[in-house]
Amino acid sequence: MAEISATSFPSSPSSALAFRRSQNGSLRCQNVACPRTISLFQELSVKKSQLVGIGHVPGSRGCKNQAIRAVLSSDEQTVVAADSNGAGLRGKLKKVVLAYSGGLDTSVIVPWLKENYGCEVVCFTADVGQGIKELDGLEQKAKASGASQLVVKDLTEEFVKDYIFPCLRAGAIYERKYLLGTSMARPVIAKAMVDVAAEVGADAVAHGCTGKGNDQVRFELTFFSLNPELKVVAPWREWEIIGREDAIEYAKKHNVPVPVTKKSIYSRDRNLWHLSHEGDLLEDPANEPKKDMYMMSVDPEDAPDQPEYIEIGIESGLPVALNGKALSPATLLTELNTIGGKHGIGRIDMVENRLVGMKSRGVYETPGGTILFAAVQELESLTLDRESIQVKDSLALKYAELVYAGRWFDPLRESMDAFMEKITETTTGSVTLKLYKGSVSVTGRKSPNSLYRQDISSFEGSEIYNQADAAGFIRLYGLPMRVRAMLEKGI
């Protein structure tokens, strides 16, 4: 896990939270700078009923020594909440590590954490192969949002080697189609956040996942598993911000630069394994995805008219080489993404069952992953016997469910992984694949540990297999069916 950068910034001036009384007497939240000179201060006693839903109030549990001050003017009254202990509106945390992307949501979360928990915020960004453009300018964005430090770590090799490849070896596919791209990325990011929290002395971690999705579970189960003492803050489950417009207004009031990038009509998640698309017209399962939505793969109709043949080298169930050239896990996957994308490989359109109970429709692009799954499973047809394949496939379903549900560090998954490692230790060899207009076809496979014997399987004569032996086998194998038929006929 190589650290790219760790940049510290001077703490930005603290701001006070003000509640401005509107014409109808209601209170609304606004961020204002603390005035240097105030002609009139008046200590106010504010009734709890006036502050319901706003935060801590005088006399409430967990709100000690809190003073409420008011700044009076001719046209409005401003009530400023302060805490002599430095606590925020919702309590006090020392330092929080925030999963940070630099987008609108996480940019707004930085001042929100400081305002509501009176804490220092350390932003953390993981490079899991989402594209270097998404990392540009993060230092400036984090500084402008009020972060005290930004840490960026390159997790690409760890992601592929320790998370993607074990799932590949296990044959883990969720609900017949989904190759678990987002599901595998969350635990490696969350694990790194726990590590960073220990490095910087943080007592809490935070994420920008919504309360409707799977990712909140994946992040938090990892936090619980690796450091149960860390507090977890999930702003989307706490704040009053409802949508993008609310977030923009909040950002402006807190002097946080609003990202100028054009808002995509789709919700996307990208890493080295896949790219997911959700939202907009995809929310209706009857709608066909638009052609210009895809980003990692060309339309199969526009793919080259000539097929391309590639050879994947595999050792103990894990891919290690492309066309005879040994490559690192991340490099191998990167090259296969390019090759597969060129041929329109790996497009999946599915309706899945989210962990939180609802169904959702998503479209996934997994070009390199689709190629690797085809190669590994095909080599297993040579190296595993019937019973081993059946048991492995049955466990693969549960393995996929555990990963999808965020239980990466669950002892059950770890135990199943030990089985997968053992059962595939002889799965070594190579597979030749034909890529053509969205399809992956296996054209050849070979292994030094192959259980396939041409001298036995051939239609020509064999000293090992005597065809006459089949008669007795069939009579014994079919005996239960024969007895049942005899009973029905009264024989």
Cα separation of 129 and 393, whole Å? 29
Establish whether 186 is a catalytic residue.
yes
pLDDT tens-digit profile of 324-337? Answer: 999 999 999 999 99
Residue 453 has pLDDT above 60, yes or no: yes
Cβ proximity of 112 and 53 under 8 Å: no
Residue 451 has pLDDT above 80, yes or no: yes
Which one of 90, 169, 186, 445 is the catalytic residue?
186
Establish whether 215 is a catalytic residue.
yes
Cα separation of 238 and 90, whole Å? 10
Return the higher-pLDDT residue of 356 and 113: 113
Q: What is the DSSP letter of 364?
A: E
% of the chain beyond a pLDDT of 70:
80
Cα separation of 19 and 77, whole Å? 8
Q: Report the pLDDT value the prediction gives residue 11, as an integer from 0 to 100.
A: 41
Q: Give pairs for 410-418: CB < 8 Å, separation 24+.
A: 410/225, 416/170, 417/166, 417/170
Establish whether 469 is a catalytic residue.
no
pLDDT bracket for residue 1 (50, 70, 90): very low
Cα separation of 196 and 153, whole Å? 10
* pLDDT (mean) for 481-488: 96
Cα separation of 411 and 408, whole Å? 8
Q: Which two tokens stand for residue 112?
A: 């929100």
Q: Which of 52-56, 79-83, 383-387, 394-398 has the lowest mean pLDDT?
A: 52-56
- Rounded to the nearest angstrom, the gap between the alpha carbon of residue 430 and the centroid of all alpha carbons in its chain is 31
Residue 36 has pLDDT above 70, yes or no: no
- Domain(s) of CATH 3.90.1260.10: residues in the chain: 268-384+426-450
Cα separation of 372 and 317, whole Å? 11
Cα separation of 165 and 184, whole Å? 10
Architecture of domain 95-156+183-264: 3-Layer(aba) Sandwich (3.40)
Q: Which two tokens stand for residue 105?
A: 């949501």
Cβ proximity of 134 and 357 under 8 Å: no
- Rounded to the nearest angstrom, the gap between the alpha carbon of residue 379 and the centroid of all alpha carbons in its chain is 29
The DSSP element (H or E) to which 82 belongs, if any, is strand 77-83
Which one of 215, 297, 360, 361 is the catalytic residue?
215
Q: Do the strands 66-72 and 42-43 form a parallel or antiparallel pair, or are they unpaired?
A: antiparallel
pLDDT tens-digit profile of 213-235? Answer: 999 999 999 999 999 999 999 99
Residue 20 has pLDDT above 80, yes or no: no
Yes or no: is domain 268-384+426-450 CATH 3.90.1260.10? yes
- Domain(s) of CATH 3.40.50.620: residues in the chain: 95-156+183-264
- The alpha-carbon radius of gyration of the chain (Å, integer) is 29
DSSP states of 12-75: PPP-EEEEEE-TTS-EEEEEEPPPS--S--EE----GGGGTTTS--TTSTT--SEEEEEEE-SS
pTM: 0.81
Q: Report the pLDDT value the prediction gives residue 47, as an integer from 0 to 100.
A: 34
Which one of 12, 15, 267, 439 is the catalytic residue?
267
- Three-point CA angle 212, 217, 223, nearest 5°: 145
- The set of residues, in sequence order, having a beta carbon less than 8 Å from that of 166 and lying 6+ positions away, is 417, 420
